[in-house]
A and B are shown apart, each in its own frame.
Chain A
Amino acid sequence: MHLHDGQIPEEYRKYIGRKFVFLLLLCVSLLIALLFSISSGAAHISLTDVVSSLIGLETSKKIEIIVWNIRLPQAISAMVAGAGLALSGAVMQSILRNPLGSPFTLGIAHAAAFGAALGVMVLGGGIMTSNSMGAVQITNPYLTTVAAFFFSIATAAVIVAIARMRGTTPEVMVLTGVALGSFFTAATMLLQFFANDVQLAAMVFWTFGDTARASWSELAVMSIVVTITGIYFFCNSWNYNAIDAGEETAKGLGVRVERVRAVGMLLASVLTATIIGFLGIIGFAGLVVPHIVRRIIGSDNRFLLPGSFIGGALMLLTSDTVARLILAPHVLPVSVLTAFIGAPVFLILILRGGRK
């Protein structure tokens, strides 16, 4: 081959540079959103106090408690969950070659809701109490979490197993996911029909995804899962790019398409199941954030995955902050806000994209 007289085009370097600038801007926005989120709430804390407290300078006892015990865990939990959900959506959309790929379209969220309902009703996790803040809590939340997690993973495993038998094609995986989703929705309805008032309330309440549910130890588990799966996904971004170019092309480039699909699907499900299990169902972030990022910087997974990761964190943190403030002193579950904020943004992008 005689291909060694090449020059690296300057425009290409600039083009790649612009993508890095975009990622950097997202990081800066995230940092600003984080500081703002911690400073605002029922008790306002000045940004100076927030920064002092975060970097360990001395502040008042009250500020320490509000920042470290209430607002920071919730903010980090929103960021970790948003990053994880958006990343798992981006990966699913890519490996399934389907713009609707997300934990919802594939029935994983429905399975989690069923698991939680089962945990509440049959396994006895369902006695609710009210604490002094007025919020409802589920006693024995770990049982519910584990049940939700188990059913999500089982669903993903069934999807992958059926795909293995019938050929790991996007069609088989998506259709299996849709079928399982309907199945679990019906199963949840069946449980709800036979549940008593308290259990029914607990089941419905569980599905309102809420970032305030996670304590530091739960956050640690979520963060570890997000980190490990995140590294795996970033390492595979070339493989996902190749699959985007077409299955045969990817195989021609030496990618083991079936294996990459099955492992990606399983890990994306573990990631989603962990987050949903701890926080409840948070919709739309996983579907819409990757699409927004794709419209801005294109579908190159080397940038799309980190972009979705940071963008997801930013979106959920912003939604979460708005959810806490918009009807203060009432606190809305963030899951209500994600679609309220995400859908209009998304529609605007679709309309603008259509004019080109």
Chain B
Amino acid sequence: MIVDIHHLNFAYRDSEILKKIDFTVKPGELLAILGPNGVGKTTLLKCLNGMHRASAGTVMVEGVDILKMRPMEIATKIGYVSQKNEKARLTLFDAVLMGRKPHIRWRPSDRDLKIVEATIRHLHLQEMSLRFIDQLSGGELQKVCIARALVQEPKLLLLDEPTSALDLKNQVEIMLLLRHVVDYHHIGAIMTMHDLNKAMRYADSVLMLKDGKVFSHLHPSLVTEQMIESVYGLPVEIHNINGHPMIVPKDSTQNLCC
């Protein structure tokens, strides 16, 4: 197991957001966290790398409880790709190099620079390596952020809505990239998602949250219409198109808006 989450609780002020969350992620596994807005998907993600302090429970990464580690140590094991990324007047190479920060003491070593170069090449970004990131498109910037998290040499990658701001082509590219990264480097990855179809198609397992608890944790092919209706409060049909499950809201949903 790369990650083993046991009885994780998180409370903000007096309200309990997450209750007794348990799940595990294996090497080479891409897990999608699903659930309605406000259920605590991003909060759960942030509890996993200590950005939020869990009020109870443990998060074991390769057998070590990250809640007992210093932030810099956590950053050598867990890469985080935020939904909010600022553009700066920084070259793509330097932006990715920043991911080596947890490993750099004073100045980047040759090894740091080589890892950055290799990662940029693997992600086919080398043509743009000296472009400023404030000149990149949304899809390119998202790849840079994933590259930055990868050069941390993490065992676990956390991604908050990695495709939410992207067009269709970029969404597919990012999902294929994540699939490749997880398989190739044999690391674990956990992402929050709103796009159920992308999650069903590319993830190895889906974790559905409802009312701050794990509603179900299973292989995408085992997700049923009833589960989705129960979690999202919306009747849906699951159709099979070319071997891919497609979730389509039922017609009666038109009544919802009235």
Contacts and interface: CB of A to CB of B under 8 A. Distances in A.
B237 interface: no
A246 B85 contact: yes
Contact of B90 (A1, A3, A8, A300): A300
A3 B187 CA distance: 13
Interface in A286-305: 294, 298-300
B91 A248 contact: no
B118 A246 contact: no
Contacts of A299: 88-90
B10 interface: no
Interface stretch (A79-87, A188-196, A236-244, A264-272): A236-244
A344 interface: no
A253 B101 contact: yes
A4 to B, nearest CB: 7
A294 B88 CA distance: 11
B145 A249 contact: yes
B80 A252 contact: yes
A248 B118 contact: no
A11 B118 contact: no
Interface residues of A, number: 32
B28 interface: no
Report which residue of A11, A241, A245 has the largest number of chain B beta carbons within 10 angstroms of its beta carbon. A245
A244 B74 contact: no
Interface in A229-264: 238, 241-242, 244-249, 251-256
A140 B150 CA distance: 60
A244 B90 CA distance: 10
B247 to A, nearest CB: 29
Nearest to A298: B89
B11 interface: no
Interface in A199-242: 238, 241-242
A6 B82 contact: no
A348 to B, nearest CB: 18
Interface string B231-242: 000000000000
A329 interface: no
Contacts of A255: 71, 101
A112 to B, nearest CB: 31
Contact of A252 (B75, B90, B122, B184): B75
B254 to A, nearest CB: 37
Interface in B162-187: 184-185, 187
Nearest to A8: B113
Given A249-B145, A252-B149, A254-B101, A7 B90 contact: no
Contacts of A5: 114, 118
A6 B116 CA distance: 7
Contacts of B119: 3, 6
B72 A244 contact: no
A9 interface: yes
A308 B159 CA distance: 35
A12 B130 contact: yes
A15 interface: yes
Report which residue of B83, B98, B121, B160 has the largest number of chain A beta carbons within 10 angstroms of its beta carbon. B98
Q: Which are the 8 A-B pairs with shortest beta-carbon distances? A: A252-B80, A6-B114, A254-B75, A6-B118, A248-B82, A254-B72, A6-B117, A299-B89
